[in-house]
Structure 1
Amino acid sequence: MFDLDIWQEIIATIKKNKMRTFLTGFSVAWGIFMLMILLGAGNGLSNGVAENFMRDAVNAMWLWSGRTSVPYQGMKENREIRFTNADYDVISDLEGIDKASGRYFISGNLFSYNNEFGEYTAVTCHPDLKDVESIEITNGRFINPVDINQARKSVVLGKDIYDALFKGKEAIGEYVKINNIPFKVVGICREGGSTRHRNAYLPVTTGQKVFNGANRLHNFALTINAGSIEESKVIEEKVRTAMARKHKFDPEDRSALGSYNKLENYLETMKIFQAIKIFIWIIGTGTLIAGVVGVSNIMLIVVKERTKEIGIRKAIGASPRSVVGLILLESILITTIAGYIGLVLGTGLMEGINFLVEQQFAASAGTNGGNGDIIFRNPTVDLNVAVSATLLLIFSGALAGYIPAKRAARIKPIEALRDE
């Protein structure tokens, strides 16, 4: 394999047929180049979608009440279902529920601080909402159990509210008025998955007392202990059954109790992307095989052209193994070098695209905190995939040269010398 004379002969043959070698190598390089582009693009889309899901807890679930659409146990349809604090206690105690927060919305509220004012949304909640909705605290803290138990007038401001009212000044410990009622600022936050941070968070007990909410809750935000779609559906049905029993409505009535199971949506979406990745591999590998078939055809032509030469070699004592090795080495050399060039160009292009994407992402982070929908992120190819592609190339090169090499090894010297 490391015989210098053999390598010199292979290189001389390649130089003699430069255009043919270039076109053969180009087909292989294009195949591996397209495989890297397709894999990188697939990864970019998958990563972008996954990051969007990560803006809230992946295992999050939301529940909201509505009106019944069917009669149940003697009661008419179109009854309004109203959540209360007692429902929060029931849901929190259910098996499979990790975090839970009731939410009571207060819209159209006037926020003011000194001479600055604006209308924003106040959300009363429990401390677990921070984990469910991936709320990022940039300064201070979030609502805590003491705030809930003592019904403190504490408020966590969204960053947009802070910027509008305080203009960059220190806000922690200051008091803002919500509908002329003073609340102490205990934290500044960014909301997960949002481009606008215009919500303020208050203790649910405080909001219910101050804003005449009694024990009313509008919806629930939960995280569940589930690792599969089946487990998440079981927990969702437990919650639905518990609420149906308490409020006396048909558990199958989706109008009475609406729900969104993010884990189910996430896992199903990731399955789709896994299927897309498999499809990409099939397309890319098919393109690569087309190039390798081209190499094999070219090597068959080479064997045909060198029939007399191969016959002379065998006549003076060359073994079939040496003839096979010569053809195989030439095939492997062309596919490996051309494939490596395609590999480097493909991965290099995706790294360049990744650099531009990250620059754009960094720029957007300065304006909206890096939130908002992400379509494309980190469109690079894993190192293990690149190594696997290289090994596949070497194997393909050997396979492409094997059939022509076997044909060359079967050539009889007397027939080769008569070949014109």
Structure 2
Amino acid sequence: MFDLDRWQEIWFTITHNKSRSFLTAFGVFWGMFMLVVMVGAGVALQRGMSSEIEGFATNSYFVWSEQTSEPYKGFKKGRTWTMENEDISLLINKVPEIQYLAPVLFGSGGTNNVTRNDKAGSYGVKGNYPSYNQIDECKMIYGRYINDIDIAEKRKVCVIGERVYEVLFPNGENPIGKSIQVNGIYFQVVGVGRHTSSVINIGGRTEETVVLPFSTMQQAFNQGKTVHFMAVTAKPGIKVKVIEDKIRKVLSEKHSISPDDKKAIGGFNIEDIFTMFLYLGLGIAFLIWFVGLGTLFAGAVGVSNIMMVTVRERTKEIGIRRALGATPKNIITQILSESIILTLIAGVAGMMVGVGILSIVGILLSQGDQFFKDPQISFSVAIAALFILLVIGTLAGFIPANRAMNIKPIEAIREE
């Protein structure tokens, strides 16, 4: 049942000494405000990191050839070797843990190497397999990506980057089916792509690259059977380190490279990088909650102190209550209620101000392409914070309430 007199008494006690209550509640307010802002900033950082690597396979490994660093089987140190078409099928057969394998060929750039009518620009050229789009996704603005038929028939088609399209074509013109020249050879445009990840760019920015079918590029630019680069992903549940070790072993045996040569086969494991980012995110989250909760508990100590002072000031009043029949439960409930209300008012105010600040910052950040994305806290985090606040308020009032309960009526009435 709603007891209006009790609530009026609680409010009177809190507002009786306004400056002291305000300064004490400010500790809780600041703790909740800092917790909300830091959690929101952490969420924005995680979303920014996720958006930067969006569309990139986290279970991928990239491999290329380097000079040997050790002599082996009659070959001298410093020998140059290259991967070839045969290595593609060899790796697929010898390493069953591979999910996708995409060989890549890099072409020469040069000044104004890509032209259309009177428009020209200097852009990178790559030869890809369709499977490469499963590893490093290219979002299609027009048309499609390279497909298996393009590879099989060695079609003279290409996928151009968004920036290439903007330079070579009038704004809004559909480029599909139109021809451009790449290093003097005509190719038909079948798609326009945009990179979904702005951090990882293999062989140059997708927006400024022309992608050709791998087989077409080998033939059109006299690349023979050379493979410059391979991108592979592991099947679900398989660690990338497993395929990394097996790929190195297969390539070493095929190209007479010493098993102990750590430099002859270049490569990097994307999974290791993403794992590092994951642990970094967990560390930041732990630090945020540790600092935020520490600040909240510091505020709770302040609340507990003011309640202790309040109990001491109200010793005579509490003694009279006890003499008139108030039970220990009534005294404890009264003191705890005052502590919880003061804590909740300050904490909710801190949360509201924090959420408001995050909303304003989110609006400002949305005006441009920023690394931090949409800082905010989730509903579950808000509920958890309020629950923690309730616990803190209860703990803050427990010691003062216990002291009030132990006051003896006769001694309290006699106290001046």
Q: TM-score, normalised by structure 2?
A: 0.94
Trace 1:369-380 onto structure 2 (pairs within 5 A): 375-380=371-376
Determine whether 1:298 maps to 2:298: no
Determine whether 1:335 maps to 2:343: yes
Aligned to 1:353: 361
Aligned to 2:215: 205
- Is the 2:233–2:240 Cα contact (8 Å) retained in structure 1? no
Indicate the larger mover: 165-174 or 97-106. 165-174
In structure 2, how many angstroms separate the alpha carbons of the residues matched to 1:324 and 1:164? 76
Aligned to 2:56: 56
Aligned to 1:364: none
Aligned to 1:144: 147
Secondary structure of the residue that 2:77 maps to in structure 1? coil
Determine whether 1:399 maps to 2:409: no
Determine whether 1:165 maps to 2:161: no
Aligned to 1:108: 109
Amino acid at match of 2:328: P
Indicate the larger mover: 235-244 or 292-301. 235-244
Amino acid at match of 1:258: G
Amino acid at match of 1:137: M
Secondary structure of the residue that 1:197 maps to in structure 2? helix
- Is the 1:226–1:232 Cα contact (8 Å) retained in structure 2? no
- CA separation of 1:292 and 1:6: change in aligned 2, threshold 3 A: same
Give 1:183 shift.
1.1
Give 1:55 shift.
4.4
In structure 2, how many angstroms separate the alpha carbons of the residues matched to 1:92 and 1:375? 38
What are the Cα deviations for residues 184-207 of structure 1, in whole angstroms up to 9, with x where unaligned?
Answer: 111111134346611111111111
Amino acid at match of 2:280: I
In structure 2, how many angstroms separate the alpha carbons of the residues matched to 1:2 and 1:296? 26
Trace 1:8-407 onto structure 2 (pairs within 5 A): 8-93=8-93, 94-108=95-109, 110-168=113-171, 169-194=173-198, 197-227=207-237, 231-361=239-369, 375-407=371-403
Q: Percent identity?
A: 40
Secondary structure of the residue that 1:312 maps to in structure 2? helix
Secondary structure of the residue that 2:224 maps to in structure 1? coil
Indicate the larger mover: 102-111 or 186-195. 186-195
- Is the 2:193–2:206 Cα contact (8 Å) retained in structure 1? no
Give 1:255 shift.
1.8
Amino acid at match of 2:99: D
Give 1:73 shift.
3.4
Amino acid at match of 1:96: E
What are the Cα deviations for residues 252-306 of structure 1, in whole angstroms up to 9, with x where unaligned?
Answer: 4332111111122101211121022112111110000000000000000000000
In structure 2, how many angstroms separate the alpha carbons of the residues matched to 1:43 and 1:252? 44
What are the Cα deviations for residues 293-343 of structure 1, in whole angstroms up to 9, with x where unaligned?
Answer: 000000000000000010011111111110111101000100011101111
Alignment coverage as a number of residue pairs: 406
- Is the 1:122–1:200 Cα contact (8 Å) retained in structure 2? yes
In structure 2, how many angstroms separate the alpha carbons of the residues matched to 1:112 and 1:397? 71
Moved over 6 A (4+): none
Q: Unmatched 5+ residue regions in structure 1?
A: 362-373
- CA separation of 1:154 and 1:232: change in aligned 2, threshold 3 A: same
In structure 2, how many angstroms separate the alpha carbons of the residues matched to 1:300 and 1:58? 55
In structure 2, how many angstroms separate the alpha carbons of the residues matched to 1:285 and 1:6? 31
In structure 1, how many angstroms separate the alpha carbons of the residues matched to 2:223 and 2:182? 15
Amino acid at match of 1:108: G
Secondary structure of the residue that 1:146 maps to in structure 2? helix
In structure 2, how many angstroms separate the alpha carbons of the residues matched to 1:227 and 1:34? 39
- Is the 1:102–1:217 Cα contact (8 Å) retained in structure 2? yes
Amino acid at match of 2:144: R
Give 1:226 shift.
4.7
Secondary structure of the residue that 1:98 maps to in structure 2? strand
In structure 2, how many angstroms separate the alpha carbons of the residues matched to 1:196 and 1:410? 75
In structure 1, how many angstroms separate the alpha carbons of the residues matched to 2:152 and 2:116? 27
- Is the 1:103–1:217 Cα contact (8 Å) retained in structure 2? yes
- CA separation of 1:2 and 1:410: change in aligned 2, threshold 3 A: farther
Secondary structure of the residue that 2:207 maps to in structure 1? coil
